[in-house]
């Protein structure tokens, strides 16, 4: 019977703390075919090497993604869901039930109160918890609050897009990484998709958009390590 278990996501800090293991150092190249190599590394630390790791400090690892367009944001989220669904299938299938819109709909359906009142209470409470977490982790909470109007708009867009992004992600297996198209395989590895000779690109914005959803034909080449990183 399928079940959801806890897993860990290692960081460079964890890697540095465990770098004294010769088997880990010599085995690092084996993680290069994965787009989410940090996840696979963490699983190996926990299961193959039987190494349990914990957060040893209160330092926050920030991920600065910089400015991006709406399309870049949308497809970035699609990409990582498509990667996760081949690594943690059950958890990814259940992911919509961790999002505010789906949970809010279920609560409104089950609660013995007016729908509008239930939804208002649900979203206010949900957003309050998220903003408390944000301000507790932010290096400069005052700077975050200074951008509050934009932050609210971005937050609302993120919550409303969660289910559409997940739906699109589940419809395909192709992702674009650093300008190259890859297909995420059932074992979690990524293979670069080489367009067959004579292949034509879809025309129009809608056609190109759907091309990102579909997992069409093509030849595979292995995902190579970036020797400069």
- Which has the closest alpha carbon to 222: 34, 52, 20? 34
> Does the annotation mark 38 as catalytic?
yes
User: Which residues, 6 or more positions from 130, have their beta carbon under 8 angstroms from its beta carbon?
Assistant: 155
Can you tell me the distance from the alpha carbon of 144 to that of 131, in angstroms, rounded to the nearest whole number?
10
6 in helix, strand or coil?
coil
Which is catalytic among the residues 38, 72, 130, 140?
A: 38
Report residue 111: phi and psi, to 5°.
-75, 145
How far, in whole angstroms, is CA 98 from its chain's centroid? 14
Among all residues, which ones are annotated catalytic?
38
């Amino acid at each position: 019977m399928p079940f959801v278990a806890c897993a860990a996501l290692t960081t460079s800090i964890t890697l540095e703390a465990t770098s004294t293991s010769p088997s880990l150092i010599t085995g690092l190249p084996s993680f290069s075919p994965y787009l989410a190599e940090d996840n696979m590394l963490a699983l190996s630390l926990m299961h193959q090497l039987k190494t349990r790791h914990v957060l040893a400090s209160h330092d926050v690892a920030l991920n600065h993604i910089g400015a991006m367009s709406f399309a870049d944001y949308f497809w970035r989220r699609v990409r990582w869901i498509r990667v996760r669904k081949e690594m943690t299938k059950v958890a990814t299938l259940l992911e919509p039930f961790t999002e505010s819109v789906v949970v809010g709909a279920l609560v409104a359906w089950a609660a013995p109160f007016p729908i509008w009142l239930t939804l208002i209470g649900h979203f206010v409470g949900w957003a309050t918890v998220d903003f408390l977490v944000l301000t507790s982790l932010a290096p400069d909470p005052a700077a975050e609050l200074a951008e509050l109007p934009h932050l609210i708009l971005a937050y609302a867009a993120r919550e409303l897009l969660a289910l559409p992004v997940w739906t699109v992600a589940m419809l395909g297996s192709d992702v674009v990484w650093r300008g190259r198209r890859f297909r995420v395989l059932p074992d979690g590895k990524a293979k670069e998709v080489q367009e067959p000779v004579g292949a034509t690109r879809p025309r129009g914005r809608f056609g190109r958009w759907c091309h990102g959803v579909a997992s069409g034909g093509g030849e595979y080449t292995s995902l190579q390590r970036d020797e400069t990183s």
